[in-house]
Amino acid sequence: MAEATTVLAMDIGGSHIKAGVFALGGEGRSPVLKVPTPHPATPKAVLPVLLNVVRQLGGDCLAVGFPGVVRHGITHNAINLHPDWNGFALAAVLREKTGLPVRLANDADVQGLGVIAGKGLELVITLGTGFGSGLFWQGVLIPNLELGQHLWQDNRTYEKWLGKSGLAALGEQAWRQALDRAIASLDTLFNYDMLYIGGGNSRLVTHPLPPRVQVVSNDAGLWGGVALWQRTDVFGSGLGVH
C-alpha cells in the first residue's frame, strides 16, 4: 500500500452509485460521479457499472461501501438490492477484475468513518432507500449493526418507518415526527455521546435537533473510503481486504 497515493471510493446505494477519487490525505481529485443503480440490482447488473466507474475515474486502490452485511469480503442481507448478493465475494471479484487492492465494508460503517470524532460511543444512521447504521466506540468500529431491521413500532422496523417506503407512505411531516421518536428511542437504547444522521434523505431534516445529534453530508460515504485505507484497526472483525 506504500506506493498508492489515491483512493477510488464508491458508495453503492439502492437508487444511485456515487464515486470519487481522493488523495490519501483526503483531498478530492475528481468530481463526484453519480450513476443510477440498475434494477433489478443483481451482482450481474451492478458489477459492470462498478467496473465502468473504475475505468472512468482511475485510482490506486478501491474503497467500497455496500448496503448490507460484509464478512471477509463477502456480502450478505442486501435487502435493498437483490437476494443474489447473499454470499457474493464482491471484494475478491473486484480485485480480480480491476487488479487493484480492495477494501469493502458496510456503507453506513464507511460513512461513519468519514464523520466520527473518535470519542465515546458514536452512532451513525443513514436515511435513504433503507435505514443504515454504524456504531463506534472510541473510534473503533463495531461492524455490521443492522439496526434498520430491528422491530420498533407497530411491528414494523426502523427501515419500514424511515426508509424510502416509509417516507412515501407517511409524507414529510409525519416522517419527521417518526424520526423524532426514533432519535429519542435510540438515545435511550444506546446512550450515545453523538448521533450522526446522513444519507440522501437527511436533507429533509430541517427542524431543530436534540443535543448530541448532527446531520452530516451524504458525501461522507466517500470520505470514509479514505479512512478505510488510513485505518489499520478497522479490519480486525472480518471485513473485506483483498
Please check whether residues 138 and 87 belong to one and the same domain: no
- C-alpha–C-alpha distance, residues 223 and 115, integer Å: 8
Is 1 a domain residue?
Answer: no
Percentage of the chain modeled with pLDDT above 90: 81
SS3 152: strand
DSSP letter for each residue of 9-45: EEEE-SSEEEEEEEETTS-B-SPPEEEEPPSS--HHH
Task: Give the CATH number of the domain where residue 59 resides.
Answer: 3.30.420.40
Please check whether residues 78 and 132 belong to one and the same domain: no
Is 195 a domain residue?
Answer: yes
Cβ proximity of 50 and 94 under 8 Å: yes
Percentage of the chain modeled with pLDDT above 70: 93
pLDDT at 112 over 60: yes
Compute φ and ψ for 105, nearest 5 degrees. Answer: -155, 165
Is 153 a domain residue?
Answer: yes
The pLDDT-based confidence of 238 (bands split at 50, 70, 90) is: very low
Residue positions counted in the chain: 242
Please check whether residues 38 and 78 belong to one and the same domain: yes
* Cis-peptide, bond into residue 40, ω within 30° of zero: yes
Look at 17-21, 121-125, 193-197, 216-220 and tell me which has the smallest mean pLDDT.
216-220
Please check whether residues 168 and 77 belong to one and the same domain: no
Cβ proximity of 176 and 166 under 8 Å: no
Query: For all residues of the chain together, what is the average pLDDT?
Result: 91
Please check whether residues 86 and 140 belong to one and the same domain: no
Domain count, the chain: 2
Q: H helices within the chain, ranges in order?
A: 43-57, 90-98, 107-113, 158-162, 164-170, 172-190, 220-230
Please check whether residues 237 and 190 belong to one and the same domain: no
Please check whether residues 38 and 87 belong to one and the same domain: yes
Please check whether residues 101 and 150 belong to one and the same domain: no
pLDDT at 236 over 50: no
- C-alpha–C-alpha distance, residues 143 and 55, integer Å: 30
Please check whether residues 73 and 142 belong to one and the same domain: no
Over residues 138-164, mean pLDDT: 92
Please check whether residues 123 and 211 belong to one and the same domain: yes
Please check whether residues 102 and 22 belong to one and the same domain: yes
Is 61 a domain residue?
Answer: yes
List b or e across 166-181, with b for residues whose CB sees 16 or more CB atoms inside 10 angstroms.
Answer: bbeebeeeebbebbee
Q: Could you list the residue range(s) of the whole structural domain that residue 93 is in?
A: 6-110+220-241
Please check whether residues 136 and 185 belong to one and the same domain: yes
